[in-house]
A and B are shown apart, each in its own frame.
Chain A
Amino acid sequence: MVLILGELVKGRLSTNTREMLGRGRELADNANGRLALLFLGDKVELVAEEAIAYGADDVYLAENPQLGTYQADTYLQIIEKAVKDMEPEILLMGQTSIGRDLAPRLAFRLGTGICMDCVRLDIEPISGIVRMTRPVYGCKALAVMICKTKPQMASIRPGTMKSAELDRSRKGQVHALATDIDMSQIRVKVMAKVEEQTDSVSLEDAKVIVCGGRGMGSSDSFSILEELARLLGGAVGSSRPPCDAGWMPSTRQIGLTGKIVSPNLYIAVAVSGSSQHMAGCAESHTIVAINKDPEANIFAMARYGIVGDYREILPPFIRRTREILEGKGGSRCC
């Protein structure tokens, strides 16, 4: 059995969960096994229907008002018991805020190993062993590993696997899990939650992202990126150095330990293209790079590039873009 820990975003199964269901289905089919989704929450009605439509054979639901907000000690109790009962061959969860916090501890308690931030799964048909690939050394290299103990665990990086297809005619079974929570095990208490104010599009949803790097030089220089983003209806992101220097808040950070994004157009300005950063934006449809260094790593990943100083390139670029978007296309025709 392949078991997936699901997450919801805005009331629907997250894209990451649907991607795990997609790959999970293929892994389960390899051994003629079942694909199951496990979900913990306070309101779970529509989850089962959606999960089954996306390929799950079984949906295990743990419903309890205390499970509304993620809390490690609570979630671990329930999931550990459920996994020990179900004995899946493969256990997947997302490399998300919850996944990063939960997965190592779960692997410890289950006495098995885990491949964190996994980008690729290959199954050996006969033995059922899964080759798990993950980036290491700040995404400069790839490591392939296997785990001989069960369950074989991996936390899957969003955007690396093909999402399952929706098929509302599929049938599946729904199981309710007991949610007896041992309160004495709960030690960490969540006191408050603060959302960052964003008046612009969120990075994960943006179709266009303009990202600034270390070469921007100061926090003031980001204003030209904001102008460009506004013009294109997109969001402004940052690589890690501007966040470390305090020029941009860390919620704007794109990269291995920041956001993973996949916009249609990603404009990287004064970004060197270190592998930690590329991990965050490699799934973009088209990357455009502006950098003074002709050998910057970003040019290895970009589709279009200009070698030069952004201070000279961006103002005429913005002007021309504005002309084009306002319909004054000039001598060029589409």
Chain B
Amino acid sequence: MQIVVCIKQVLDPEMPYSAFKIDADGKRAIPPQGTPPVISPYDENALEAALQVKDAHGATVIALSLGSKLARSILNKPLAAGVDELVLIEDPAAGDLDSFASASILAAAIRKIGGADVVFTGRQAADWDAGIAGCAIAEELKMPCITVARKVSVQNGMVRVERLLSDGFEVVESPLPCVITVDSDLGELRQVTMQGLISAKKKPVSAWKLSDLKLESPPPPRCELLELYIPKRKRVCEIISGENAEDTAVKLADRLFEESLL
């Protein structure tokens, strides 16, 4: 069985608050110093989903990433975690792509890799939070798509997925091949070990350009970005203070009661 996991390198969503800045003219976030980029957290859950299927049924897992400047030490992590192969599409033209354009390039890469039974990806990327790419890849490849999976198992050429609903979950089944987007409920990516790091050095890494995918240039964006800004917030918080914790707590309760909030 062959599994492809699409992962995206993003600015660390857990960077300190003060480090997040926007370049208004360039309409992009500025990479902060001292905080390296990371693999988008939901994509790490997708890697875990793929590795769990590999543990249970045996499979070749290929991690696929697209970008204009990919950091090898970050993208080495999937190999160290147990992924068998890494395919990178690194091209200066792949800088600011919208979700549909990324999806079409990733789909072309998946076709070139060939033979994918399951394509995993995170439910949304930690930069644009759109949640479009996974579904769009499925549409490009004409595969069924199951979103927000929290548990995945494969049996007899079918995949059985528990997917999140607002009040619980539902169990769905689909024939292979299919695309599955993964939610954090599935579980965190397993810890990387020293043996993993050592064996990662021997695993194959392919680097492709858009021309290798027979694409001259990426498809134009379907939406136009007009503005990107950090909204200003006024602090109107009334900090309750007192002589000690008990006094402060009592004051808060009384204040809320005054405002008819209790």
- Chain A directly contacts chain B within the complex, with at least one CB pair under 8 Å: yes
B256 touches A (CB below 8 Å):
yes
A306 and B239: CB pair below 8 A?
Answer: yes
- A309 to B237 CA separation, bound complex (whole angstroms): 18
B13 partner residues in chain A, CB cutoff 8 A:
137-138, 276
Min CB distance A93 to B, Å, is 13
A190 partner residues in chain B, CB cutoff 8 A:
170-172
A113 touches B (CB below 8 Å):
yes
Q: A100-B147, A300-B237, A332-B258 are in contact. Are A195 and B168 (CB under 8 A)?
A: yes
Min CB distance A80 to B, Å, is 11
- A138 to B136 CA separation, bound complex (whole angstroms): 21
Min CB distance A238 to B, Å, is 13
A187 and B174: CB pair below 8 A?
Answer: yes
A108 and B223: CB pair below 8 A?
Answer: no
A329 touches B (CB below 8 Å):
yes
Q: A72-B145, A189-B174, A257-B123 are in contact. Are A314 and B169 (CB under 8 A)?
A: no
B126 touches A (CB below 8 Å):
yes
A334 touches B (CB below 8 Å):
yes
A113 and B229: CB pair below 8 A?
Answer: no
B100 partner residues in chain A, CB cutoff 8 A:
107-108, 113
A188 and B136: CB pair below 8 A?
Answer: no
Interface residues on A, range: 35 or more
A312 partner residues in chain B, CB cutoff 8 A:
245-246, 249
In the complex, chain B residues 164-197 whose Cβ is within 8 Å of any chain A Cβ = 164-175, 178, 183-185, 188
A303 partner residues in chain B, CB cutoff 8 A:
236-238
A65 touches B (CB below 8 Å):
no
B202 touches A (CB below 8 Å):
no
Interface SS of chain B: helix, strand, loop or mixed?
Answer: mixed
Q: A105-B135, A136-B128 are in contact. Are A320 and B238 (CB under 8 A)?
A: no
A288 and B252: CB pair below 8 A?
Answer: yes
- A5 to B36 CA separation, bound complex (whole angstroms): 41
A115 partner residues in chain B, CB cutoff 8 A:
223
A305 and B230: CB pair below 8 A?
Answer: no
Q: A136-B129, A146-B226 are in contact. Are A301 and B245 (CB under 8 A)?
A: no
A181 touches B (CB below 8 Å):
no
Min CB distance B172 to A, Å, is 5
- A316 to B130 CA separation, bound complex (whole angstroms): 43
Residues of B within 8 A of A (CB): 11, 13, 17, 20, 22, 29, 98-100, 123-124, 126-132, 134-136, 138-140, 144-148, 150, 160, 164-175, 178, 183-185, 188, 221-231, 233, 235-241, 245-246, 248-250, 252-262
